[in-house]
Amino acid sequence: MFMRIDHIGIACHDLEEKIALFSQTFELTVVAREVNEEQGVKEAMLHIADGEGGGSYIQLLEPLSQDSPVGKFLARRGEGVHHVAFGVPDVAEAIDRIGGKGVRVLDERPRHGSMGSQIAFLHPKDVGGMLTELVQATRP
Ligand code: CMX
Ligand code: CO
């Protein structure tokens, strides 16, 4: 079902500061910047490598408000790894298969993610404490 790790999502207070840190430390390039109102984030994708069905990235996330998922996470736990995202060939199919095993799927239908992708989240409490995102990258 999983083709690659699509991205690691990192929650931060100051997006520009963390873009500078990650791009300089790891010599990575920012390939996309977006505001995703539905997810409540301002974000940047830093490219690592290309893999099966899409690339792999670090996703830096600054919350748009304190009551958004990332805003709440920062208040509770501080900056750090927020979620892990796996590349899947078909996110709707992955939701059905994983949901059928009793894992809570937070998005009944795929939502809009970074760079035109289709995404869905799984509840961290049902996946060993890891907030999990499924990503179907856009076809070129
Ligand atoms: N990783 C691991 N555990 C997490 C977590 C995370 N990122 N966020 C919350 N939790 C834990 C909490 O610590 C809490 O555990 P305890 O009860 O043991 O303390 C439990 O989950 C429930 O937390 P909560 O505060 O009641 O729930 P929230 O209102 O914070 O919602 C969640 C949690 C996962 C349902 C919500 O953050 C969500 O729907 N996330 C999906 C969307 C999202 O994260 N969007 C931003 C990224 C967008 C992108 O990647 O493009
Ligand atoms: Co993500």
Q: Give the per-residue pLDDT at 138.
A: 93
Verify whether ligand 1 is closer than 6 Å to residue 70 (CB atom). yes
pLDDT reading at 101 higher than 90: yes
Separation of alpha carbons 83 and 60, rounded Å? 11
Separation of alpha carbons 130 and 103, rounded Å? 12
**Which residues are close to ligand 2, an ion, with C-beta < 5 A?**
9, 59, 85, 133
Ligand 1 atom with the shortest distance to the CA of 82:
7
Which residues share a beta bridge with 135? Answer: 87, 119
Residue 13 is encoded by which pair of tokens? 């207070």
As a whole number, mean pLDDT of residues 89-105 equals 97
Give the pLDDT band of residue 139 (cuts 50, 70, 90). Answer: confident
Ligand 1 atom with the shortest distance to the CA of 36:
51
pLDDT reading at 114 higher than 90: yes
pTM (predicted TM-score): 0.97
Q: Report which of 113, 114, 116, 96 is spatially closest to residue 105, judged by C-alpha positions.
A: 96
Verify whether ligand 1 is closer than 6 Å to residue 82 (CB atom). yes
Residue 57 is encoded by which pair of tokens? 């990235």
Verify whether ligand 1 is closer than 6 Å to residue 22 (CB atom). no
Verify whether ligand 1 is closer than 6 Å to residue 63 (CB atom). no
pLDDT in tens, 52-90: 899 999 999 999 999 999 999 999 999 999 999 999 999
